[in-house]
Amino acid sequence: MKLKGRTILVICLLIFGGYAVYDFFNEKKVEEKRAMDARLMTVEFDQVDQIELEKGTQKIVLKRTVDGWSMTEPLRDAADNTAADDFVKGAFPERVIEVAKEGEGIEWALYGLDKPLGKVTFKSTAGTQDVFEISEKRNFEDNTFARRNGENRVLLVNSVWQSRVNKTVMDFRERRFLRHKIASVDEISIKNDKGRLMIRREDGKWLAPEKKDLKLDQNKVRELLTQIADAKASEIVDGKLPSLKSLFTMELVMKDKKWKAEVGQAKDLGIYAKVSEPAQQLKMEAGALDRFIKIVLADLREEEAPKQQAMTAEQKEK
């Protein structure tokens, strides 16, 4: 009898254990389905190679190649790789906050999706795409309405999607003062109202060829190079520049080319630059080029170690 009772107990434990395992895996599947249902993006992150933004008559198209992002519409130019990458990276963690309405017969005008604010499209190398129509309407929690891939569903998404639709050409266009690699620069010449600064790299070390007795602080030169590389424009000017007061000219010599920039200030105190390669006119960000307006060669000089002011007691005795 005891053996029979134990057998029944074991069977019961196995049955209950089986139910527990079933419930565990069933709950896991439900959670996975919820996560998939909440996933906003259906294309794979690392396969996105094209972005399209449409708002009104404006259409921006960015394409990624092995060399980085480029703009193909509304004009052909290099794109800001960081801006394009951040745009993609920012979209992928997004989730569907809620499905506001689904099924046939949706009154799209009620959600502002009959005439959406704009459209964002992500295309992948696999030939798949996600198309998001974004409404300018928001709900009481400040989330916006969206439609994905023509589905008969109104989705509630983060209102940041409205900011994505409102991006302009200038938000994605390459706006660096110098588009070339700063590491390829072997000679720098700057002429301002203080005079002319000229330095050259020889055997990996920066020297002042016109003042060979002047020892340059290599860290200060590297800081100067970084400031040139980091300088960006707020705007690329396609029309005529305003009347400018000359501030300085900068000439760079690289292994295979020369580059020149003429920088001046307008009456409204805006700083503008006309650069040679690629040939374009830039309205610079505030403070981007201030360092070069008054710079002189002595600013790059290596500081001498302070001389010992007092003799030690032992030296005095001697």
Q: What is the pLDDT of residue 178?
A: 97
> Tens of pLDDT along 141-161?
999 999 999 999 999 999 999
Q: What is the pLDDT of residue 31?
A: 46
Q: What is the pLDDT of residue 180?
A: 93
Give yes or no for a contact between 249 and 261, defined as CB atoms under 8 angstroms apart: yes
Give yes or no for a contact between 122 and 41, defined as CB atoms under 8 angstroms apart: yes
> Tens of pLDDT along 111-129?
999 999 999 999 999 999 9
Q: What is the pLDDT of residue 28?
A: 46
Instruction: For each of the domains in the chain, give its residue range(s) and CATH number, in order of start.
Output: 45-172 (no CATH), 182-300 (3.30.1490)
Cα 291 to Cα 34, 235, 244, 302, distances in angstroms:
55, 20, 18, 18
> Tens of pLDDT along 69-81?
999 999 999 999 9
Cα 186 to Cα 206, 218, 254, 258, 300, distances in angstroms:
9, 14, 6, 10, 16
Place of tokens 């700063």: 182
- 10-residue mean pLDDT profile of the chain (318 residues): values are 61 64 49 59 96 97 96 96 96 95 95 97 96 97 97 97 97 96 96 97 94 93 97 95 97 94 97 96 97 97 66 51
Q: What is the pLDDT of residue 25?
A: 47
Q: What is the pLDDT of residue 7?
A: 72
What's the pTM value of the predicted model, to 2 decimals?
0.78
- Print burial letters for 21-37: b (CB count within 10 Å at least 16), e (below 16): eeeeeeeeeeeeeeeee
Helix (H) / strand (E) element for 119: namely strand 118-124
